[in-house]
Amino acid sequence: MRKRYLMAPGPVAVAPDVLLKMAEPIIHHRSPQFSAILEEVRGGLKYLFQTRNDVLVLASSGTGGMEASVANLCAPGDTAVVVRGGKFGERWAELCEAYGVRAVNVDVAWGRAVDPADVAAALEAHPEARAVFVQAHETSTGVKHPVEALGELVRPRPETVLVVDAISALGVYDIRTDDWGLDVVVTGSQKSLGLPPGLAMVSVSEKAWALAERSTQPRYYFDFRRERKALGRRTTAFTPAVSLIIGLERVLARVREVGLPALFAHHRRLAEGTRAGVRALGLSLFPEAPSEAVTVIRAPEGIDGQEVVKLLREEYGITIAGGQAQAKGKIFRISHMGHLDEWDMLVALAAVERALHRLGHPVELGRGVAAAEAWFAGAAA
């Protein structure tokens, strides 16, 4: 008799109306009916990404969008600057290696944001760099990297593009693709958009198109040029994830209806209310520049963060996330993305309190919940 809650930073809980929409009979993708849906999605994505450029939709997880970016922008033997401050920064470096691209890694301690001066120094030392790869929000540590400042560094370099993994940032807080000079922005369906996993979305600037057109890197399924051509014919190059795109149309219609500012305010509110509870419990946040996508909590001295996660999942029916790699056992992460609201945040805090109490950490049950409740009540005035 357990109700289940999904509060991990991806995949996230999907709203019932979106689930029902995606349960409708499959339509053929080479049909006027599907083309009309794709056109709606095309407009909705431009609004979400804050760009005038087309956003390509790929049938893959978010990593497919990252891989496509490397494959289309960098040729074997090219150099790229990689901001590496967590699990997903490491993924950029691994993708570069897989495609024969020489990665100049700007290593950042986990939990810290990159200093733009370090990226500037790497670009000075490697003016030949084709791309700078970075996360807007490094989900493994909860840190926001200063992508706007990086945009300023890269914009004056005609042969270098800024590629931003915004898989857990876009739709959570303000990411101004065109205004900030973010040449390529990648997102996925199963984070802030609140859809099931399976779609990657990638915006591509004019500067990035020029690199994609002339790169000698072999590519086939993830060929930006092929997808752009197809989009011009109001279709996709290959069979798209039809149901997910139907769900995406629904989600994007809602995004336009409520507007980006309200969407960002929603995530900020969940994050701040949750953090009021975290502080009241005497716990601290792991990242120095926390994002609104997820609250990353340092496990208290003597408590294994993995045990907290396990208790929540196995006994309380609540899925949050633990730490990965070097952060394993040291942190646990509560998502603010997906079909969640402030009441769910109170549930998460109650469960964390209960787990810490069970594991022998001194907590006053209800203290974090009370502080979060007070925060939500005050801010609601």
Ligand X SMILES: *Cc1c(COP(=O)(O)O)cnc(C)c1O
**Cβ nearer to ligand X, comparing 175 with 303:** 175
* Phi, psi dihedrals of residue 151, rounded to the nearest 5°: -60, -40
Please identify which residue in 90, 165, 227, 373 interacts with ligand X, judged by CB under 6 A.
165
Q: Looking at the DSSP assignment, which residues form a beta bridge with residue 294?
A: 335
**Cβ nearer to ligand X, comparing 285 with 359:** 285
**Cβ nearer to ligand X, comparing 79 with 187:** 187
What residues between 195 and 254 interact with ligand X by CB under 6 A? 197
* Phi, psi dihedrals of residue 128, rounded to the nearest 5°: -80, -5
Name the segment binding ligand X (CB under 6 A); options: 20-28, 160-168, 244-252, 282-290: 160-168
Asked if residue 163 lies in contact with residue 169, where contact means CB atoms within 8 angstroms, the answer is no
Here's the x/- map for ligand X, 62-81, by CB under 6 A: it reads as xx------------------
Does 111 help bind ligand X (rule: CB under 6 A)?
no
Name the segment binding ligand X (CB under 6 A); options: 164-172, 235-243, 343-351, 372-380: 164-172
Here's the x/- map for ligand X, 127-146, by CB under 6 A: it reads as --------x---x-------
Residue 345, both tokens: 């945040």
Residue entry with tokens 């005038």:
52
Total residues binding ligand X (CB under 6 A): 13
Name the segment binding ligand X (CB under 6 A); options: 32-40, 162-170, 229-237, 258-266: 162-170
Question: DSSP alpha helices (H): ranges in the chain?
Answer: 16-22, 32-49, 62-73, 87-98, 116-125, 147-154, 206-214, 224-232, 242-258, 260-280, 305-311, 342-358, 367-379
Could you tell me which of 350, 281, 300 has the C-alpha nearest to residue 320? 350
Here's the x/- map for ligand X, 23-62, by CB under 6 A: it reads as --------------------------------------xx
User: Least distance (Å) from ligand X to the CB of residue 332?
Assistant: 16
Does 167 help bind ligand X (rule: CB under 6 A)?
yes
Please identify which residue in 50, 53, 168, 205 interacts with ligand X, judged by CB under 6 A.
168
Please identify which residue in 111, 171, 188, 368 interacts with ligand X, judged by CB under 6 A.
188
The rounded distance, in Å, linking the Cα atoms of 159 and 127 is 9
User: Least distance (Å) from ligand X to the CB of residue 167?
Assistant: 4
User: Least distance (Å) from ligand X to the CB of residue 379?
Assistant: 27
Please identify which residue in 10, 151, 196, 240 interacts with ligand X, judged by CB under 6 A.
10
**Cβ nearer to ligand X, comparing 73 with 369:** 73
Q: CB neighbours (10 Å) of residue 28?
A: 9
Q: Does the annotation place 256 within a ligand binding site?
A: no
**Cβ nearer to ligand X, comparing 193 with 281:** 193
**Cβ nearer to ligand X, comparing 53 with 61:** 61
Q: Characterize 82-94 residue by residue with b for buried, 16 or more Cβ atoms within 10 angstroms of its Cβ, and e for exposed.
A: bbbbbbbbbbbbe
Residue entry with tokens 């520049």:
289
What residues between 325 and 364 interact with ligand X by CB under 6 A? none
**Cβ nearer to ligand X, comparing 154 with 166:** 166
Long-range contacts of 152-160 (CB under 8 A, 24+ apart): 152/116, 152/181, 153/116, 153/119, 153/120, 153/123, 154/123, 154/181, 154/183, 155/181, 157/123, 157/127, 158/207, 159/128, 159/130, 160/123, 160/129, 160/130, 160/131, 160/132
User: Least distance (Å) from ligand X to the CB of residue 81?
Assistant: 18
**Three-state SS sequence of 38-67:** HHHHHHHHHHHHCCCCCEEEEECCHHHHHH
Asked if residue 30 lies in contact with residue 235, where contact means CB atoms within 8 angstroms, the answer is yes
The rounded distance, in Å, linking the Cα atoms of 132 and 83 is 8
**Cβ nearer to ligand X, comparing 88 with 180:** 88
The rounded distance, in Å, linking the Cα atoms of 29 and 238 is 9
Annotated binding-site members: 333
Annotated binding-site members for substrate: 333
Residues that bind ligand X (CB under 6 A): 10, 61-63, 88, 135, 139, 165, 167-168, 188, 191, 197
